[in-house]
Amino acid sequence: MTAVQGVVTAIVTPMMEDGAIDIDTFRELVNWQVACGVRGIVIAGTTGEVSTLGHEEHIALVEEAVRITKGRLSIIAGAGSNSTQEAIELTRHAKAVGADASLQVVPYYNKPTQDGLYQHFRMIAEEVDLDMVLYNVPLRVGTKLNPDTTARLSRVPGIVGVKDTEASMLSMYRLLRWHGFREGFVVYSGDDITSHGAVLMGAHGVVSVESNLTPTQTWRRHANVEGALGSEDECARDKMLSCMFKLANPMPIKHALHKAGQLRGGIRSPLTWLPCTLGAELCSAARGYASGVGDGI
């Protein structure tokens, strides 16, 4: 695949109250994202609660998304692991069911060196002929993928981009200005709050959580970032995002979608629903933003 640019939604995994996957609602959400014009969807990423999905559930979600979309947008399958062999196996499954690319998180818990990270991602790329997007999220995994390692990996065939979720404008600036990246290598912001600034500095798109709730407005704002800054709805968006990321993703976004009538009340332990006060604050802020932009909440 040619790495997709623009807005890619890191989609939630809908669940029943007992935690079983709600495949009918999943189909509805995927079709809604297609209709609203986003460029791609990440299946079974952090927002999709990948850490509590079984392998069969993981592959079934990717396969269903491929079947539904029929090539109308790119499907990027979360397939990372802190075990290189497990990541290879998940990536093979993703390729077998038709994903366009895999999203490979920096290995968590075991804290490899930069050379260990290079070897991990290179081995996956060499074993499975499926485009790969690297996923740098040090706050969650405990290890940072440094810009020089990222540039080195960009020259490995099949590694087409990186999602950077450090939420630091300085970090994004350094990444975008680093020398040695292969031409055509794509850099995504993985942080909605700083994504506009990242795009203005040269990022190619955003892997977004907020676009689960406001997909149309999210891609429109990113298509015209300079016009969006300082607009009347900017303050309302900022208020919504500050609520959306007070607690760990995907708890807030699933709460908002549930209250909007788009999800049942399922989330898997150890994640929980929001405290009443924060939940009410988030829903109020989301309604305030959506009422001005035309997305249905």
Reply yes or no on whether the pLDDT at 21 is more than 50.
yes
User: Is there a catalytic annotation at residue 109?
Assistant: no
The average pLDDT across 7-13 equals 98
Task: Report which of residues 225 and 146 the model is more confident about.
Answer: 146
Q: What was the pLDDT predicted at 294?
A: 41
C-alpha 183/C-alpha 154 separation (Å) is 9
Catalytic residue among 118, 135, 188, 289: 135
Q: Are 75 and 98 in contact, with CB atoms under 8 Å apart?
A: yes
Q: How many CB atoms lie within 10 A of CB 277?
A: 8
Tokens coding 218: 């999210």
- Alpha helices in 37-72, H assignment, sequence order: 55-69
Q: What was the pLDDT predicted at 117?
A: 99
> Binding site residues for pyruvate, as ranges?
47, 207
Reply yes or no on whether the pLDDT at 110 is more than 60.
yes
The average pLDDT across 114-127 equals 99
User: Is there a catalytic annotation at residue 135?
Assistant: yes
Q: What was the pLDDT predicted at 230?
A: 60
How do residues 285-295 score in pLDDT, each as one tens digit?
998 887 644 44
Residue 94 has, within 13 A of its CA and on its CB side, a CA count of: 30
Q: Please state, for a pLDDT cut of 70, what percent of the chain lies above it.
A: 95
Task: Write down all domains in the chain, each with its CATH number in brackets.
Answer: 6-229 (3.20.20.70)
The average pLDDT across 196-206 equals 93
Catalytic residue among 111, 118, 144, 163: 163
Q: Does the N-terminal peptide bond of residue 215 adopt cis geometry, omega within 30 degrees of 0?
A: no
Amino acid at the residue 242? S
C-alpha 125/C-alpha 36 separation (Å) is 32
How do residues 85-101 score in pLDDT, each as one tens digit?
999 999 999 999 999 99
Q: What was the pLDDT predicted at 135?
A: 99
pTM summary value: 0.94
Q: What was the pLDDT predicted at 293?
A: 43
How do residues 146-183 score in pLDDT, each as one tens digit?
999 999 999 999 999 999 999 788 999 999 998 889 99
How do residues 23-70 score in pLDDT, each as one tens digit?
999 999 999 999 999 999 999 999 999 999 999 999 999 999 999 999
> Binding site residues, as ranges?
47, 207
Sign of CA dihedral 87, 149, 129, 94: positive
